Amino acid sequence: MEEEDGRAQYTPVCDVPTHVLKFGRIEHNRGQVLILIIPGNPGIIGYYQRFMEVLYRCGDERVPVWGLSHAGHVTTPNTGQYLESDFYTLEGQIKHKLSFVEENVPGDVKLVLVGHSIGCYIILKMLEKLDSHRVLRCFLLFPTIERMAASPKGQVSVPLLKYFRWLSILLSYLASYFSPHVQYRMILWYFQGRPVAECAYNASMNLFDPFCVRNIMNMANEEMKEVTELNTKLVSDYMSKLSFYYGLEDSWCPRDYYHGMKEQFPHADIQLCEKGLEHAFVLEGNDDMAGIVWSWLQKDLHKVTD
């Protein structure tokens, strides 16, 4: 039976049941391109459903758009019990994404990698392992690829993650005993008054799973420690394939990070948002962001199809 676009699938990747979201299928024809979404943290691909759907429609449903959650960030059905895994770490998430590509994407398919937040860091690390001929383009949206702990948001988050992340896990554990109806009402209350994409409500239900929250918080703590100085050599080596998109007001990658990138790489494709989109664009800015990425991608698609 043909899979329905946007339907949740749970694919084993590195023996970890992984939530994969697909719009469109890979066709075995010349010039096939796949757009693959690598999420931020929380790495719940459900947050990106609206963005992916709009991006897929921008291409008249000819270019498939897939995305996958981070290992251990999504509640998976019928698993019986959760197993510990090395793939829940930041380094493990990079291996997790590489394994997904290796196991699920034919070698002759060109990849367009779209990363958001820490997903941009993951993509940069993936480029070191992937065959460069497989990667057509990388779009790094609101990229947290340097000095995370020194950013305005990072300075607040570091002590909270170091000393109080257990509190988030405890609250999630207590809330997990509420009925799904009550949990959903809590999410509606939290987002009240905001035109949030409907997919965000369902995605947020995963935050009532203490196992997922533990992995999310532990990974965030690792990010503060590991995402420090910009790897200028890595960026320079793959600059021809990279496009960066920075926010006007982004507490995770502030505007001076954008200016620093422009100064170091004056000829690179680095843009500053003119629409005032928030770092968490998946809540309210999906349509605008999908349109921007699609327009950015046109010249690369012409290289493949012409």
At 306 the pLDDT is 54
Residue 3 has pLDDT above 60, yes or no: no
Residues annotated as part of the active site: 117, 250, 279
Spatial separation of the C-alpha atoms in residues 177 and 185, rounded to whole Å:
14
At 2 the pLDDT is 45
Mean pLDDT of 217-245: 96
pLDDT bin (cut points 50, 70, 90) of residue 80 is very low
At 14 the pLDDT is 85
At 299 the pLDDT is 83
Question: Dihedral, CA atoms, 145, 149, 151, 154, nearest 10 degrees?
Answer: 110
Mean pLDDT of 126-136: 92
Mean pLDDT of 248-269: 95
pTM: 0.95
User: What are the residue ranges of helices labelled H in the chain?
Assistant: 49-58, 90-104, 118-127, 152-175, 180-190, 198-204, 210-226, 232-237, 255-264, 281-284, 286-305
At 56 the pLDDT is 96
Question: How many C-beta neighbours within 10 Å does residue 27 have?
Answer: 9
